[in-house]
Amino acid sequence: MRRVVIVGYGMAGARLADELRRRDQDISITIIGSEPHPAYNRVLLSTVVAGTMTPQSTRLHDEKWAADHNIDLRLGQEIQEIDRQNRTVDGIPYDALVLATGSTPWVPPAEGLLEDGKLAAGVVAFRTLDDCAEIEAKARKGAPVVVLGGGLLGIEAARGLAGRGCLVTVVHPVGHLMERQLDPGAGGVLARTLGQLGIEFRLNSMAAKYLPGDGMILDDGTHVPAELVVVSAGVRAETSLAVKAGLTVDRGIVVDDALRTSDPRIHAIGDCAQHPGTVSGLVQPAWDQAAVLADRLTGTNPASRYRGTSVVTRLKARDVDLAALGDVHTDVDCPDSEVLCFQEPSRGRYAKLVLRDDRVAGAIVLGAPDAAATITQLYDRGIPAPTDRLALLLGRALPAEAASPADLPSSAVICRCNTVSKGQIVSAWRAGAESLPQLAEATRATTGCGGCKDAVCGLLDWLGASQPASA
Ligand SMILES: Cc1cc2nc3c(=O)[nH]c(=O)nc-3n(C[C@H](O)[C@H](O)[C@H](O)COP(=O)(O)OP(=O)(O)OC[C@H]3O[C@@H](n4cnc5c(N)ncnc54)[C@H](O)[C@@H]3O)c2cc1C
């Protein structure tokens, strides 16, 4: 029997175990995770910090899952070494080894943030459930808090903490927020919206020195008070095991389309892997990679290849609706693209649409959820955009088919994180999954970022009201 050993029980490792077992009841699966908890949905940690979800409700698996699925699960164990010669990891033999070690928070080089290589008292990263527990314990109402980093995660942390009544200042080294996903215009509107929710920003600023219990000195010499510092300044692929084992490592562990490392018996998926053309640090590529690797390792489809994932980023912050997808950095004067922009900062609205050959190549949509939904559908399906571009940007051009679940084509992707189409949801409903939890169990829709929940509920209402003749 083939022995697959997975190092890392996070979102990629857990998904791979699921995918392997769905395809093969016999293959031997061992997963080793350094965290003490069963796998959980890391994407939802912002909602835990915001207090809208409990740690328990982020679980991807419960304790019984491993036993029920005949999986050898070892929690709280950090693998130290791969012996490629004898094909073992810390003595555990493998035929195929999968590295799913994720990434670790990057700590800016400010004096005092680290003490003996560990985060100093009052400084917390934002990566794990244990980090969330520590943040929650320290984030008392009225406490001044500094968040280091104005990227997606920093903003989600800041919004959650502001919602708890903390006085939050975000320190960000770039001139606008979320520069990976947003242009300066959108970053400005976002900062204004978040400012109205009580969050302050120090842009173009870096933390220089941490004074425990007092706050941060920035590089311009100013002082920002803080009882708590949350580090959310970016991540680095966790490659230490691979480096030690002599595998090829660049920014991440280098893999090919078969998700093989430079040793064909060792694979890497998720945040720790570096695949050409893939944006790392997001869950959708990790889950797509898990499906491809399961096809290959079980022999279900040995020709399966991973060719990259087009990602849609959504900010999960109460009262702020933001989606960014594809190529957002094309300028208005780019000759081969049509670029449209609309902004209404006073109402927190900004929309930028990049079209190529009449199709959506990229978009930023802030404060206009209807427009975001339509544009995402157009992007996913690769169909031409309606000619009334302005109406599209304003969210008033819902193509007739997007207006009602009944009229959506069967192929329309409803849950992007799990690539679940309307057709799959209808089939699952017809097979008896008539509630949201049952549909989530059967199709995995809503179990990623949760952004599709309303759409899935809309489909459930429609299905309940009238069984469709065809989907
Ligand atoms: C707060 C937050 C919000 C996010 N929001 C989004 C979002 O909206 N959309 C999105 O797409 N992505 C988001 N992400 C990113 C997403 O969570 C990651 O892309 C995803 O978790 C990657 O999965 P992974 O399994 O590769 O890594 P991880 O989930 O980090 O799992 C890796 C696991 O491996 C373990 N490990 C590492 N080394 C070893 C070892 N030597 N031995 C044993 N175990 C080891 C680690 O402890 C960890 O449990 C967010 C992340 C955070 C922190």
β-pairing verdict for 96-99 and 3-7: parallel
CB 11 within 8 A of CB 56: no
Q: Can you give the pLDDT at residue 403?
A: 53
* Residues in CB range of 450: below 8 A, 6 or more apart: 44, 47, 316
Residue 466 has pLDDT above 80, yes or no: no
pTM value is: 0.89
pLDDT of the residue at 359: 93
Rounded to the nearest angstrom, the gap between the alpha carbon of residue 376 and the centroid of all alpha carbons in its chain is: 17
Residue 71: band (very low, low, confident or very high) from pLDDT cuts 50, 70, 90: very high
- In a mutational test of the pocket of ligand 1, which residue from 129, 282, 452 has the highest number of ligand atoms less than 8 Å from its CB? 282
Q: Distance, CA 40 to ligand 1 centroid (Å)?
A: 9
Work out which ligand 1 atom sits closest to the CA atom of 8: 34
Greatest C-alpha distance within the chain: 68
Ligand 1 center to residue 172 CA distance, Å?
22
- For residue 12, the ligand 1 atom closest to its alpha carbon is 25
Atom of ligand 1 minimally distant from the CA of 127: 53
Ligand 1 pocket member 271 (CB < 6 A) = yes
Residue labelled with tokens 């400010």: 110
Atom of ligand 1 nearest to the CA of 272: 26
Which residue, 355, 412, 413, is CA-closest to 384?
355
Question: How far is the centre of ligand 1, averaged over its atoms, from the C-alpha of 106 (Å)?
Answer: 13
State the Cα–Cα distance between residues 75 and 449, nearest whole angstrom.
25
- Which pair of structure tokens corresponds to residue 168? 């939050």
pLDDT the model gives residue 468: 52
* Residue 217, both tokens: 């000195």
Neighbours of 369 (CB within 10 A): 15
> Is residue 271 a contact partner of residue 102, using CB atoms and an 8 Å limit?
yes
Instruction: Quote the ligand 1 centre to 93 CA distance (angstroms).
Output: 25
Rounded to whole angstroms, the Cα distance separating 6 from 17 reads 8
What CA–CA distance (Å, rounded) separates 294 from 20? Answer: 5
- Mutating to test ligand 1, I would choose from 6, 42, 58 the residue with most ligand atoms within 8 A of its C-beta, which is 42
Establish whether residue 100 lines the binding site of ligand 1, counting it when its CB lies within 6 angstroms of any ligand atom: yes
Asked whether 99 lines ligand 1 (CB < 6 A), one says no
> Hey, which of 78, 101, 180, 316 would you mutate to test ligand 1's pocket, going by the most ligand atoms within 8 Å of its Cβ?
101
Condensed to tens digits (0 to 9), the pLDDT of residues 200-243 reads: 999 999 999 999 989 999 999 999 999 999 999 999 999 999 99
Residue type, 391: A
284 lines ligand 1 (CB under 6 A): yes
CA of 103 to the centre of ligand 1 (A): 6
Q: State whether the beta carbon of 446 lies less than 6 angstroms from ligand 1.
A: no
**Which domains are present in the chain?**
3-103+236-297 (3.50.50.60), 114-233 (3.50.50.60), 319-398 (3.30.390.30), 415-471 (1.10.10)
| pLDDT higher than 80, residue 406 | no
Residue 39 CA to ligand 1 centre (angstroms): 10
Q: Which atom number of ligand 1 is nearest to the Cα of residue 269?
A: 26
In the block, tokens 């902004």 appear at: 343
Contact call for residues 364 and 181 (beta carbons, < 8 A): yes
| Atom number, ligand 1, closest to the C-alpha of residue 32 | 43
Indicate the SS3 state at residue 171.
strand
Range with lowest mean pLDDT among 282-296, 390-404, 455-469 = 390-404
Judge contact between 394 and 428, C-beta under 8 A.
no
Report CA(193)–ligand 1 centroid distance (Å). Answer: 29
Q: How many CB atoms lie within 10 A of CB 137?
A: 10
Distance CA 132, CA 47 (A): 10
Q: Lowest mean pLDDT: which of 170-174, 231-235, 374-378, 444-448?
A: 444-448
Angle of CA points 445, 272, 310, to nearest 5°: 45
- CA of residue 23 to ligand 1 center, whole Å: 24
Q: How far is CA 129 from CA 159, 381, 451, in A?
A: 18, 35, 21
User: Ligand 1 within 6 A of 154 CB?
Assistant: no
Give the confidence band of 469 by pLDDT, cuts at 50, 70, 90: very low
Written as six digits, the tokens of 421 are 């189409």
Q: What percent of the chain has pLDDT over 90?
A: 67
Burial class (CB in 10 A: 0-12, 13-18, 19+), 461: exposed
Measured in residues, the chain has a length of 471
Chain-centroid distance of CA 69 in Å reads 26
Please state, in angstroms and rounded to a whole number, the distance separating the CA atoms of residues 49 and 161.
7
Measure the CA–CA gap between 277 and 279, rounded to whole angstroms.
7
Q: Is the CB of 11 under 6 A from ligand 1?
A: yes
State which ligand 1 atom lies nearest to the alpha carbon of 235.
53
- Residue-wise pLDDT for 294-332, tens only, equals 999 999 999 999 999 888 888 888 889 999 999 888 887
Kindly tell me if the per-residue pLDDT of 402 is higher than 70.
no
H helices of 245-368, in order, are: 283-298
Contact 367, 348 (CB under 8 A): yes
pLDDT of residue 181: 93
Q: How far apart are the first and last CA of the chain?
A: 41
Q: Is the Cβ atom of 288 under 6 angstroms away from ligand 1?
A: no
Residue 220 CA, ligand 1 centroid: distance in Å: 34
For ligand 1, the distance from its centroid to the CA atom of residue 319, given in whole angstroms, is 26
